Homo-oligomer: A and B are copies of this chain.
Amino acid sequence: MASLRIEPDNLEIVVSENTPLVKALWQAGISVEAPCGGFGICGKCKVRFLSGCIPQPTAEERKHLTDFDLREGWRLTCQHRVEGDATIFVPNESKPSIAQILTTAVERETDLQPAVKRFTVFVPPASTRDERSDVQRLLDAVQRQHGLSLSSSSLHLSVLRSLPAALRQSQQITLTVHSVEPGQFSVLSVEPENEKVRPVLGIAFDIGTTTLVGYLIDLETGKELACAVRLNPQIQFGDDVVSRLHYALQQPNGLRQLQQAVVRGMNEIIAECCQVANVSPTDVYELVCVGNTAMLHLLLGVNPEPIALAPYVPVFNEPVTVEAWKLGLRVHPNGLLTTLPCVAGYIGADTVAVVLSHLHEPEGEPIVALDIGTNGEIVVRRQGQYWCASAAAGPAFEGGRIYQGMRAERGAISQVSVERVNGKVWLKAQTLGGILPKGICGSGLIDAVAALIELGVIDETGRMNNDLPEWKERFLSINGQKAFQLVAPHLSERSEGIVLSQRDVREMQLAKGSIRAVAEVLLQVAGLQWDEVSRVIISGAFGFFVNLRSAQRIGLLPPLPLERFLPVGNAAGAGAKLALRSIVERKRATELARKMTHVPMTGNPAYEEALMEFIAFPTI
């Protein structure tokens, strides 16, 4: 056993020697970021050994840390196991923090018709003239008073166990029943009516790769009572889908760790929502979850390997209903979790939920929906048909794989614009929270690239031009790369200032090029031109925080009048709420998922051609 002291949190833990360091810290309650999945690629999990057993640096570490850093005790957490007693300093920037998570959404109305309903029945007492069992008197009363034919097999064991006491406390009995198919019921709970009136609750979950959002809904009124968000705790095992899949497949127990991580986050959300609304988690009877296909596999603890390997076919696309406690979720003991359907390995229930929210009428006008999160999914609707595909955009729009990239947190540059005053041209950068900048987030990146294109610092091919006399001195060389200083060192938290490197521009080009190329291919398949598209739905945080004009300037969005773009917020969450509020909407989701044709992009020549075209920036 080895004893670790962890600073600045002043924690002390004892772990077995040879425990992976990231796991040891995790046991102490310290999450360390490892966006690359712990393969020593991103270099973001830095910690400093202050004393004790300091492990020898690895080859991977030498790529990310200077000799000086290494001598000072800096190491990458992912590279080491516990070798003996040590004191370790974990800097704040190595810990994930809550980002600016979008929870608001443009919602459409639906009639309240939830799967979980509560009703009261009068059950006469047993007597020598009425020798029917407790169960039979209950079932007969439900039949007579509500016209529902329940069978004894619809009663959970716990219901059977609580029935005799309930019936002897009151003749008015409150039943909570789950039913999705007509004539098929399961009774989740039974209580004497004279107990305190308790609500019937459900939570709609948007299980994002980066963020988890939960909406607590009163299923008797349809009202939203609370909303809570968390970073997906799976982030410590990798910040995009691919690195999580990698972790699940490569690490012993990896799938289980990922499953438990997301459930931990969901339980925090459940607890927070219930605290805010002053209700009990045991009154939550149903969870409806959307998320991309891989996230739903990980949530259920189903091996996602088939998604990761050709032909990339998931284990399930179909809606699945399981007992919530089996996943470790802390709600009512008979509570159920239902997923919305997915379409394919990379078109998940989140995309179906966007369609359910905003493209639910198949015969409506031609419309395009863009859902740009950690991945990008695009759907085109035309004349009752839907085509969809995902773009391997990578996490650039969330600050991933960008030299100074960060999530939309305090200190991130989120807006950049070209200002011209009295003939002088300068770049204006604004940070979230108005503090000194620490890095740059997705919306800032798009603005920055658009601005540098406007200034001629970046040409259509994406090459940075460091010869322009007025901008020349803004250029640095970082790791042998050209880099443009957006903010000077003395006005930033970094000694090199806030910079955008040539490689960052290339990452951006790839990301926006692939999204745009996918959209172009889908339009072709649907036989549409952009000017025939009446509306472009933009869901997710992207649509709320990104300057649409900049996004057009870099060619991510097509050159349509701005009023045709409709940012709708968290449309995936809105879709989950619809399905939670109404089983009609839930069935509609399944029908919509069936209508959605997945157009594969891998090896698709039309896609490769479009990608070549849209990697470049548009000339104006």
Given B128, B160, B315, which contacts A316 in the complex, CB threshold below 8 Å? B160
Q: With A and B bound together, what is the CA distance between A163 and B304 in angstroms?
A: 11
Q: With A and B bound together, what is the CA distance between A134 and B322 in angstroms?
A: 18
Q: Which of A127, A311, A326 has the most CB of B within 10 A?
A: A311
Per-position binary interface string of chain A over residues 471-508, scored 1 when its CB falls under 8 Å from any chain B CB and 0 otherwise: 00000000000000000000000000000000000000
Q: Is the CB of B317 within 8 A of A161?
A: no
Judged by a CB distance under 8 angstroms, whether A313 is at the interface is yes
Q: Is the CB of A165 within 8 A of B303?
A: yes
A338 to chain B, nearest CB (A): 9
Query: A135 with B600: in contact, given A301-B161, A311-B126 (CB under 8 Å)?
Result: no
Q: With A and B bound together, what is the CA distance between A226 and B270 in angstroms?
A: 49
Query: A155 with B320: in contact, given A126-B306, A160-B300, A300-B161 (CB under 8 Å)?
Result: yes
Q: Is the CB of B303 within 8 A of A135?
A: no
Per-position binary interface string of chain A over residues 581-598, scored 1 when its CB falls under 8 Å from any chain B CB and 0 otherwise: 000000000000000001
Judged by a CB distance under 8 angstroms, whether A57 is at the interface is no
Q: With A and B bound together, what is the CA distance between A136 and B345 in angstroms?
A: 13
Query: A131 with B311: in contact, given A136-B317, A164-B302 (CB under 8 Å)?
Result: yes
In the complex, residue of chain B having the shortest beta-carbon distance to the beta carbon of A342? B133
A610 to chain B, nearest CB (A): 20
Q: With A and B bound together, what is the CA distance between A11 and B518 in angstroms?
A: 75
Q: Which of A130, A301, A302, A326 has the most CB of B within 10 A?
A: A302
Q: With A and B bound together, what is the CA distance between A164 and B157 in angstroms?
A: 31
A583 to chain B, nearest CB (A): 13
Q: With A and B bound together, what is the CA distance between A566 and B344 in angstroms?
A: 65
A229 to chain B, nearest CB (A): 27
Given B134, B302, B314, B600, which contacts A306 in the complex, CB threshold below 8 Å? B134
Given B126, B139, B163, B319, which contacts A152 in the complex, CB threshold below 8 Å? B319
Q: Inside 8 A of A131's CB, which chain B residues have their CB?
A: 311, 313, 344, 598, 600
Q: Is the CB of A133 within 8 A of B302?
A: no
Q: Inside 8 A of A302's CB, which chain B residues have their CB?
A: 160-161, 163-164
Q: Which of A130, A160, A184 has the most CB of B within 10 A?
A: A160
Judged by a CB distance under 8 angstroms, whether A63 is at the interface is no
Q: Is the CB of A132 within 8 A of B303?
A: no
**B-contacting residues, A167-222, CB 8 Å:** 168, 180, 184
In the complex, residue of chain B having the shortest beta-carbon distance to the beta carbon of A305? B164
Query: A132 with B320: in contact, given A161-B302, A165-B303 (CB under 8 Å)?
Result: no
In the complex, residue of chain B having the shortest beta-carbon distance to the beta carbon of A603? B128
Judged by a CB distance under 8 angstroms, whether A321 is at the interface is yes
Q: Inside 8 A of A305's CB, which chain B residues have their CB?
A: 164
Judged by a CB distance under 8 angstroms, whether A468 is at the interface is no
User: Which residues of A are at the interface with B, using a C-beta cutoff of 8 A?
Assistant: 126-128, 130-136, 139, 151-153, 155, 157, 160-161, 163-165, 168, 180, 184, 300-303, 305-306, 310-311, 313-323, 326-327, 342, 344, 598, 600
Q: Inside 8 A of A600's CB, which chain B residues have their CB?
A: 128, 131
Q: Is the CB of B157 within 8 A of A300?
A: yes
- Could you jot down 10 A-B contacts, CB within 8 Å? A126-B313, A133-B318, A134-B306, A134-B313, A134-B314, A136-B316, A136-B317, A155-B320, A160-B320, A164-B315
Q: Is the CB of B164 within 8 A of A133?
A: no
The 5 closest A-B pairs by CB, nearest first: A152-B318, A126-B313, A135-B316, A133-B317, A134-B315
In the complex, residue of chain B having the shortest beta-carbon distance to the beta carbon of A317? B133
In the complex, residue of chain B having the shortest beta-carbon distance to the beta carbon of A326? B157
7 other A-B residue contacts (CB within 8 Å) besides A133-B317, A157-B300, A163-B315: A128-B600, A130-B311, A133-B315, A157-B327, A161-B301, A164-B303, A164-B305
A128 to chain B, nearest CB (A): 5
Q: Is the CB of A315 within 8 A of B160?
A: yes
Q: With A and B bound together, what is the CA distance between A320 and B303 in angstroms?
A: 34
Q: With A and B bound together, what is the CA distance between A323 and B303 in angstroms?
A: 25
Q: With A and B bound together, what is the CA distance between A127 and B600 in angstroms?
A: 12
Given B157, B164, B318, B320, which contacts A136 in the complex, CB threshold below 8 Å? B318
Q: Inside 8 A of A126's CB, which chain B residues have their CB?
A: 306, 311, 313
Query: A153 with B306: in contact, given A131-B313, A161-B300 (CB under 8 Å)?
Result: no
A368 to chain B, nearest CB (A): 22
Q: Inside 8 A of A327's CB, which chain B residues have their CB?
A: 157
Q: With A and B bound together, what is the CA distance between A180 and B154 in angstroms?
A: 13
In the complex, residue of chain B having the shortest beta-carbon distance to the beta carbon of A602? B128
Q: Is the CB of B152 within 8 A of A313?
A: no
Q: With A and B bound together, what is the CA distance between A311 and B319 in angstroms?
A: 47
A302 to chain B, nearest CB (A): 5
Q: Inside 8 A of A134's CB, which chain B residues have their CB?
A: 306, 313-316
A158 to chain B, nearest CB (A): 9
Q: Inside 8 A of A314's CB, which chain B residues have their CB?
A: 133-134
Q: With A and B bound together, what is the CA distance between A317 and B136 in angstroms?
A: 8
Q: Is the CB of A317 within 8 A of B153?
A: no
A86 to chain B, nearest CB (A): 38
Q: With A and B bound together, what is the CA distance between A126 and B342 in angstroms?
A: 16
A521 to chain B, nearest CB (A): 16
Q: Is the CB of B157 within 8 A of A310?
A: no
Q: With A and B bound together, what is the CA distance between A130 and B322 in angstroms?
A: 27
In the complex, residue of chain B having the shortest beta-carbon distance to the beta carbon of A139? B318
In the complex, residue of chain B having the shortest beta-carbon distance to the beta carbon of A598? B131
Q: Is the CB of A317 within 8 A of B135?
A: yes
Q: Inside 8 A of A318's CB, which chain B residues have their CB?
A: 133, 135-136, 139, 151-152
Q: With A and B bound together, what is the CA distance between A313 and B139 in angstroms?
A: 15
Q: With A and B bound together, what is the CA distance between A301 and B157 in angstroms?
A: 9
Given B155, B300, B313, which contacts A133 in the complex, CB threshold below 8 Å? B313
In the complex, residue of chain B having the shortest beta-carbon distance to the beta carbon of A320? B152
Q: With A and B bound together, what is the CA distance between A302 and B158 in angstroms?
A: 9
In the complex, residue of chain B having the shortest beta-carbon distance to the beta carbon of A303? B164
